[in-house]
Structure 1
Amino acid sequence: MPTLDVFLLFMAGALALNITPGPDMTFVLAQAAHRGTRAGLAAALGIGTGTLFHMTLAAFGLAALFVAFPLAFDVVRYAGAAYLIWIAVGMLRHPPRFSESREDGAIGTAFRQGVVTNIFNPKVAIFFIAFLPQFVTRDAGPAWLQILILGVCFNLSATCVNCIVAFGGGRLAGRLKANPLIAKIMGYISASVMGLLALRLVLSGRR
């Protein structure tokens, strides 16, 4: 178990990172604005679930494969970008209609999309394998256990922040229900966000 001072330092850094706008936060906001609060919350939980995958990889050293084999990194990166584009195309083909039935039906989809987009973003794995070990101390127990504990805490913090973002996006969606034209425009904006995230994932490389 990490010592208290190390843990507090870690959480301060984690919170600073979590409140900084990034692809996950943008994805949750787009889902909430496109489909409503519950879909945004489902997307946030999906991202948190996907993060557990990367956290496990980091804990047991498997994420090092991305460092040792750059081709594997690129394959996963392009797969993630392709999936984001697929989401964007779906948003364009099916413009949002802010009704209760549509929001209910979107919850499972938003959750699955959150999981998949996070798993297929290798930069998340690289982040965990680079960030978490910095707070592992030699005398605080097995390194893998410390990484798991820190990863869970980081994930909880990030999920809470994303849920707050989902509530904000959902309130925006509620105001757009009465205006189909603006709702349609929001669908195009959400699709554009997904496309830009895909472009960012492709162009960002391994920097």
Structure 2
Amino acid sequence: MDELTSLFAFISACIVIILIPGPAQALVLSNSISYGKKSGIITAIGLNAATIFHSLFAAAGLSAILHTSAVLFSIVKFLGAGYLIFIGFMTLKNSSQKETAQNNSSLKKVFLKAFITGILNPKVALFFLAFLPQFVDVSRGNVFFQFILLGTILALMDIGYETLLVLITSFASDRFVRNEKFIRVRQKITGTVLIILGIRLAFAQNK
């Protein structure tokens, strides 16, 4: 398989993967609905920064260790689940307060939360371990760089798609942005989504 054919196959596979709704998109959209489009976009960037790190882990062989160690998998899984549930409850607790997450300090927190959420998801690490090697060609040399390049391409494509979703969602939700009751409802939705994602991750299996 030549380079262009391989790249086309990879991009085609990425499009299919990106279009499948998942927990990451749920988090991006819930943050966008609750705190505005900037927070939604920053969430997408934070999650995909973690995506690039997972491609680095796969290249370094760390994901393989996670795959073979049930104990390590469980530790990372429960850390991630606990973190999601914690920030979910904190969001519910603060749902009576008006939070827009539009200042630089808050946006940094949004990015950090999304990044940590992505890093502490062992299922993502195992996905990269299974997916990326199919498109890495040892004969081309610098396998490590190929892993990082492929992970970056996937991350950029995902950010583009999720940004589009955020803009579409924000167009509808901005009509209600000044409604205090709607703001509280949005934050409760976000908190509930985070808790559900945390519980879902807690029951994830090492497959």
Q: What TM-score results when the alignment is normalised by the length of structure 2?
A: 0.92
Letter in 1 for 2:11: M
Q: What is the CA–CA distance in structure 2 between the aligned matches of 1:151 and 1:206, rounded to whole Å?
A: 22
Runs of 4+ in structure 1 off by over 3 angstroms are none
Q: What is the CA–CA distance in structure 1 between the aligned matches of 2:73 and 2:51, rounded to whole Å?
A: 17
* Offset at residue 19 of structure 1 (A): 1.7
* Offset at residue 140 of structure 1 (A): 2.0
Letter in 2 for 1:184: R
SS at match of 2:111: helix
Asked if residue 39 in structure 1 is aligned to residue 72 in structure 2, the reply is: no
The answer to whether the 8 Å contact 2:84/2:198 transfers is yes
The match for 2:107 is: 107
Asked if residue 148 in structure 1 is aligned to residue 153 in structure 2, the reply is: no
Asked if residue 52 in structure 1 is aligned to residue 55 in structure 2, the reply is: no
The match for 1:97 is: 98
1:178-197 equivalent positions in 2, closer than 5 A = 178-197=178-197
1:58-69 equivalent positions in 2, closer than 5 A = 58-69=58-69
The match for 1:84 is: 84
The match for 1:27 is: 27
Q: What is the CA–CA distance in structure 2 between the aligned matches of 1:71 and 1:168, rounded to whole Å?
A: 41
Task: Give the direction of change, closer, same or farther, for the CA distance of 1:169–1:94 in structure 2 (3 Å limit).
Answer: farther
The answer to whether the 8 Å contact 2:177/2:183 transfers is yes
Q: What is the CA–CA distance in structure 1 between the aligned matches of 2:169 and 2:116, rounded to whole Å?
A: 21
Aligned Cα root-mean-square deviation (Å): 1.7
The answer to whether the 8 Å contact 1:35/1:106 transfers is no
The match for 1:201 is: 201
Q: What is the CA–CA distance in structure 2 between the aligned matches of 1:177 and 1:200, rounded to whole Å?
A: 30
The number of residues matched between the two structures is 204
Letter in 2 for 1:175: R
SS at match of 2:79: helix
Asked if residue 135 in structure 1 is aligned to residue 147 in structure 2, the reply is: no
Q: What is the CA–CA distance in structure 1 between the aligned matches of 2:169 and 2:73, rounded to whole Å?
A: 32
* Offset at residue 98 of structure 1 (A): 6.0
Q: What is the CA–CA distance in structure 1 between the aligned matches of 2:159 and 2:137, rounded to whole Å?
A: 26
CA displacement 1:73-131 (0-9 Å, x = unmatched): 110011001111111111111126265xx432531221111100000001111111110
SS at match of 2:61: coil
The answer to whether the 8 Å contact 2:50/2:115 transfers is yes
Q: What is the CA–CA distance in structure 2 between the aligned matches of 1:168 and 1:89, rounded to whole Å?
A: 27
Q: What is the CA–CA distance in structure 1 between the aligned matches of 2:206 and 2:73, rounded to whole Å?
A: 8
Asked if residue 174 in structure 1 is aligned to residue 169 in structure 2, the reply is: no
The answer to whether the 8 Å contact 2:55/2:151 transfers is yes
Task: Give the direction of change, closer, same or farther, for the CA distance of 1:106–1:174 in structure 2 (3 Å limit).
Answer: farther
Q: What TM-score results when the alignment is normalised by the length of structure 1?
A: 0.92
Unaligned stretches of 5+ in structure 1?
Answer: none
* Offset at residue 65 of structure 1 (A): 0.9
Task: Give the direction of change, closer, same or farther, for the CA distance of 1:190–1:9 in structure 2 (3 Å limit).
Answer: same
* Offset at residue 67 of structure 1 (A): 1.5
SS at match of 1:139: helix
* Offset at residue 16 of structure 1 (A): 0.9
Unaligned stretches of 5+ in structure 2?
Answer: none
